[in-house]
Amino acid sequence: MTWLVRLKLAALVLTTVVLQTTLFPDLRLFGVAPDLVLVATIAVASRVGPETGAVYGFASGLVIDLFLQTPLGLSALSFAVVAYGIGILHTGLSRTPRFIAAMLGGAGGLAGGLIFVVLAALAGEDQVIAFRTIWVLVLAAVYDALLAVPMFPVARWAVGSTGAETPAIRGARST
């Protein structure tokens, strides 16, 4: 991975964290805000694969953790796990479906939210154990699926065509 790609990915982390912490709290639907940083992590992981995606997910999660009141590292761990899973899933696809961005955004958002809630509960954050949490997770996953559509081209720009993308994407380009 070149320095230019690393610089673009750092800019993507910074941009999504700033948007997540300043703009998106005001753009709530039914009291639920999307997780833009997680969506960016999913988009990057689908382009670069599981290992690099997990590193990006951990880094972006650690940065967003600095702004949350939960224990440091919860987002970092959940983002890394989701990024690794999305990277594996997308690498294993022989064809890329038309609505892959929305599908991965929604599934990854739901998985990331569930992992975060389970880890938070294990860390002693009792406020996450509530019936409202289910509503928030489902609605946030729908919101994440919608945000994934514009985020995937941004991730494509950030990663470029450096050969670091998953085999399924390279195969789709060559046909």
- For 118-145, the pLDDT digits (tens) are 999 999 998 888 999 999 999 999 999 9
Q: Is the pLDDT of residue 166 over 80?
A: no
| CA angle, residues 51, 18, 165, in degrees to nearest 5 | 25
Q: Is the pLDDT of residue 174 over 60?
A: no
Q: What's residue 93's pLDDT?
A: 79
| CA angle, residues 93, 96, 100, in degrees to nearest 5 | 105
Residues 6+ apart with CB under 8 A from 21: 64, 67
Asked whether 28 and 135 are in contact (CB, 8 A), the reply is no
Least confident piece of the model among 18-22, 54-58, 163-167: 163-167
Asked whether 57 and 86 are in contact (CB, 8 A), the reply is no
Residue from 111, 113, 110, 129 nearest 121 by CA: 129
Q: What's residue 52's pLDDT?
A: 95
Structure tokens at 130: 């509530």
Q: Is the pLDDT of residue 55 over 50?
A: yes
What is this structure's pTM?
0.88
Structure tokens at 34: 């999307």
Structure tokens at 137: 């997770």
Q: Is the pLDDT of residue 167 over 70?
A: no
d(CA 112, CA 133) in angstroms, rounded, equals: 13
- What are the tens digits of pLDDT across the range 150-163? 999 999 999 987 44
Q: What's residue 98's pLDDT?
A: 84
Helix axes 100-122, 36-48, angle to 10 degrees: 120
Least confident piece of the model among 3-12, 60-69, 149-158, 164-173: 164-173
| DSSP per residue, 104-148 | HHHHHHHHHHHHHHHHHHHTT-GGG-SHHHHHHHHHHHHHHHHHH
Structure tokens at 52: 């690099």
Beta bridge partners of 29: 32
Domain segments of the chain: what residues? 3-26+34-160
- What are the tens digits of pLDDT across the range 58-105? 999 999 999 999 899 999 999 999 999 999 998 887 787 889 999 999
